[in-house]
Amino acid sequence: MLTPRSGRYLIALLLVVKLALLVWNAAVFDGKTYDAGYQSDRAMFGGLRPGKTAHDPPAYYLAALTVPRPADVPQAIRETVGEDDEPGERLRVAQPRPSRAESAFRSELLSCLRYSNVLWLGLFYTVWLLGCLPRLVRGFQPWFLSSLLLLAIPAYQRLGAMSHPDNMFVGAAAVTTALWLLLRERWQAGRAIAFWQLGLFALSIGIMAVTRWLAIVPAAIFSVVCVVYTVRAVGPKLVALAPRLLLLGLLIGAFDLSWVLCRRAAAHEPGEEYAASYFPKLDRDASGFDYRRYYTSFHLSRLLERGRAASHDSFPGLVHSEIWGDEWRSFSVSKSKDGKETPRRVLLGVALAVPLTCIVLAVAAIVELVEKLKRFRAEARPRSKASVADLEADLVLIALVTLGAAAFICWQAGPGLLPGDNSSVRFNSIATLFPPAIALLFARPLPAVAFNALSGYFLSLFVLAFPLAMYWPR
């Protein structure tokens, strides 16, 4: 039903629409960002001042230093945490209300960060659609389906309206993935890999690592990949290999280690103080929490009736509502009537076929991977670069998805779990997992009937998700 030429034009058109939405949302957003007080505190110092709850590295907040601070606005942190009389309890310290000038300046800081999101998410979309997916999937049809599904997800536009370091994380992760694939392409074609190319790859890993604490997973995975390509470029000789690995390790670790050392030098290592700063009563209630019901149940009727999952609902329901709806109302008009209830309910219902489709494709991908491993083991040595590169791509993507999801779930089931208010289940924490997962699921061509059906379905999702991807100002 689609030719490669018309399909590429359609994806290009939808990409332009998504980029335009990023600019529109940044310009008109007048809602409240995630943890606005904390984010404006970090922006006040460009992210460079460590604190008890400063759990995010400073890279994302450096853009806020370009905003001049008025002389009558104090450079102060307001989201401080102190100790209550009860042992083990931490509560927020009451402070005087900020002046009108300070409130305006903090709002300007968040706006600056929000506009920087256009760059980070613009990089994310462009690099994945034009650089990564064409090198990870086989042929036009898989590329078209994977690109269309990625563009259909409305939650990335909601993330772009938030002043949050996860925006830089998704952009930096896309660039790092693209640099790995370029190294893989050069090695497979038999071309030499220059040390400056390895250095650029290592630098991108280091920058990604200093965006968000969850970046530790892809940073670790790509660090191993960097070592592998250094060995391929230099050879196994230790005399030539050791100094290059040391220099690349310094490039990767310099940014993140500098922030860790700065925090420790200031005696501000976030730990229990941060974990218990949110609603101490809910932290105590976690002892009797029903984890089995939380992770295995899915209340479909409640989801469709309310247009969102309940805050105490199941983990699958919250994730589905976060991806395709607006679970925490961060993208809805909070102080007036929400006009998106009907589009949200419709989209949540129609999108229910996405996880079912992904399960079917995941089973097929696992079967193919097993067959691929059998062929790889049976292949005569030395094995062809094509088979090694193909298996390498599968293993790296699987590691990114499984280890990244495991890190998020372990955190969410521990210090991030707040029974009765599970607002830690947010799309921004898992936004980097979807592109590699989609690349794994759609890596192979499908029968014509399946391709046509999924093309129509994903395009319908894009259209139905448009009201959820576009912010409506008050």
Q: Which two tokens stand for residue 386?
A: 């094509």
pLDDT of residue 28: 93
Residue 228's alpha-carbon distances to 173, 176, 216, 398, 440, in angstroms, are: 19, 15, 19, 17, 22
Q: Is the pLDDT of residue 278 over 60?
A: no
Residue with tokens 């009563």: 281
The backbone region for 278, taken as left when phi is positive above 0, alpha when psi lies in -120 to 50, beta otherwise, is beta
Q: Is the pLDDT of residue 279 over 60?
A: no
Model confidence pLDDT, tens digit, residues 45-66? 898 887 666 778 889 999 999 9
State the Cα–Cα distance between residues 317 and 294, nearest whole angstrom. 9
Over residues 311-325, mean pLDDT: 85
pLDDT of residue 311: 59
Q: What is the DSSP string of 114-178?
A: HHHHHHHHHHHHHHIIIIIHHHHS-SHHHHHHHHHHHHH-THHHHHHHS--THHHHHHHHHHHHH
State the Cα–Cα distance between residues 228 and 233, nearest whole angstrom. 9
pLDDT of residue 275: 43
**351 near 324, Cβ under 8 Å?**
yes
Confidence of residue 206 (pLDDT cuts 50, 70, 90): very high
Comparing 227 with 74, which gets the higher pLDDT? 227
pLDDT of residue 117: 97
Comparing 62 with 382, which gets the higher pLDDT? 62
Percent of the chain whose predicted confidence (pLDDT) is above 70: 87
Q: Which two tokens stand for residue 49?
A: 């001042």
pLDDT of residue 333: 58
User: Taking all residues of the chain, what is their mean pLDDT, rounded to a whole number?
Assistant: 86
What number of H helices and E strands is found in the chain?
20, 2
Confidence of residue 85 (pLDDT cuts 50, 70, 90): very low
Confidence of residue 299 (pLDDT cuts 50, 70, 90): confident
β-strand 90-92 against 81-83: which pairing, if any?
Answer: antiparallel
Q: Which two tokens stand for residue 190?
A: 């038999």
- Tell me the sheet residues that pair with 82: 91
- Tell me the sheet residues that pair with 90: 83
Q: Which amino acid is at 134?
A: P
Phi (first) and psi of residue 82, to 5 degrees: -130, 180
Q: Which of 295, 294, 313 shows the shortest CA–CA distance to 304?
A: 313
Element (H, E) at 81: strand 81-83
Over residues 391-412, mean pLDDT: 95
Q: Extract long-range pairs of 92-98: CB within 8 Å, 24+ residues apart.
A: 92/277
| Gyration radius of the chain over CA positions | 23
Give the ranges where 272-384 is alpha helix by DSSP (H): 272-275, 280-285, 291-296, 300-306, 315-324, 341-350, 353-378
240-267 burial, b for 16+ CB within 10 Å, e for fewer? ebeebbeebeebbbebbeebeebbeeee
- What is the CB neighbour count within 10 angstroms for residue 363? 10
Model confidence pLDDT, tens digit, residues 32-48? 888 888 899 899 989 88
Confidence of residue 330 (pLDDT cuts 50, 70, 90): confident
Max CA separation in the chain (angstroms): 74
Element (H, E) at 71: none
**331 near 161, Cβ under 8 Å?**
yes
**361 near 441, Cβ under 8 Å?**
yes
pLDDT of residue 467: 92
**Angle, vertex CA 21, rays to CA 16 and CA 23, nearest 5:** 100
pLDDT of residue 126: 97
pLDDT of residue 238: 82
Element (H, E) at 264: helix 238-265
pLDDT of residue 88: 38
Q: Is the pLDDT of residue 226 over 90?
A: yes
Over residues 439-445, mean pLDDT: 93
What is the crossing angle of helices 140-152 and 448-469, to 10°? 20
Q: Which of 66, 33, 68, 61 shows the shortest CA–CA distance to 46?
A: 61
Instruction: Quote the distance between the C-alpha of residue 284 and its chain's center.
Output: 30
pLDDT of residue 284: 46
